[in-house]
Structure 1
C-alpha cells in the first residue's frame, strides 16, 4: 500500500531521494545538469511530499511559492523500482491538493525536453505547455507547464 507523507525539506528520506535524483540527472545530462542544479536547491522548502511503499521511500516532490498566487512544482522523482505504478501521479495530486488548501490558484513547473516520461506525466495530469518563464525563458532545452488549481476538483 502506498502512503503519502506531507513534510518539509529536512525529511531524511526526501534528502536521500533527491540525492538519487541528482545522481540520475548528472549521469543522464552531463554538463547541462550543472545549469539546472543551481535552480533546484531544496533547503528550507516547507511543502514536501514523500511516497512510501512498505515503509520504503520511493518517490517525492515539492512545491514552493513562485508568485503570490502560484506554486512551482519542484524535485519530482520516483525511484526506478517504483516506476509505472502511478506513484508520480499520486505525489503530484497531493502537491496540487496542498497548493489548493494554501489558496494558490495555479502550479507551474519546468522540465527538460529530454524528460519524455515527465512531459507525458504532466500532460496526462492536465498541465498545459506555457512559454518558458523566469530563469528558463531563454533555455532551448526547457519546457514549462501550468495548471489552474480551480480545475482540479
Structure 2
C-alpha cells in the first residue's frame, strides 16, 4: 500500500463510510467496553450542516473523518463545527493519514465559514490526544453528550481562514 491518500466526500450512509464507522465502533468496544452511543443524525453530515469524508489507499477505504456544525462556543469563535468519526484502519496507521484527514477537515470547514473546530475524544485514545495537541488543538471545557464523563477530553482549534 502506498501513502497516496485520496479523500472523497461521501454520505455517512455510503457503504465505505458505514464500514469504517462500524470499525471505529468495534475499536470503542475494545477500548471502552461499549459502543459510542452519543446521538448522531445522519442529516448533520449533509449540506449545509456538515460533511463526511472517506480516505482511500489503492482504492480501499482506510480512513474517515467528518464535521458537523455545532452550537458550542469555544476559543472566542461564534461559528464552530465538531469533528466526528476520525479513524484510520490498523493496517494503515502510523503513516500520517489521520493528520492529513484532520487537515482536510480544517480546510473544508474554513471554506464554509467555520471559525473553529471542536472535538471530544477519550482518555483511552492517547494517540488521538497526541494528534490533536500536536496539530494545534487546545483543551476546552467539556461539551455535549460526554461533557461530564471522566474519560472524555475536549479540544478546540481556531481556523485561520486567511491561510486558505
Instruction: Please say whether Structure 1 and Structure 2 have the same fold, judged by a TM-score greater than 0.5.
Output: yes
Alignment length (residue pairs)? 149
TM-score, length-scaled by structure 2:
0.85
Encode CA deviations 1:18-73: one digit per residue, 9 max, x unaligned.
1111012112211xx35xx2215352222011110000000001101112611000
Moved segments of 4+, more than 4 Å: none
Higher strand share: 1
Whole-Å separation in 2 of the counterparts to 1:40 and 1:53? 30
Match of 1:80 in 2: 90
Whole-Å separation in 1 of the counterparts to 2:42 and 2:113? 23
- Report the Cα offset of residue 151 of structure 1: 6.9
Two-structure CA RMSD over aligned residues (Å): 1.6
Match of 1:38 in 2: 37
Whole-Å separation in 1 of the counterparts to 2:41 and 2:5? 24
Whole-Å separation in 2 of the counterparts to 1:42 and 1:93? 24
In structure 2, stretches of 5+ residues that fail to align are: 72-77
Match of 1:132 in 2: 142
Higher helix share: 1
- After TM superposition, the structure 1 = structure 2 runs for residues 22-37 of structure 1, keeping only pairs within 5 Å, are 22-30=25-33, 33-34=34-35, 37=36
Residues 92, 42 of structure 1: alpha-carbon distance in 2 compared, 3 angstrom cutoff:
farther
1:53 to 52, 57, 70: 57
- Does the CA-based 8 Å contact 2:115-2:161 persist in structure 1? no
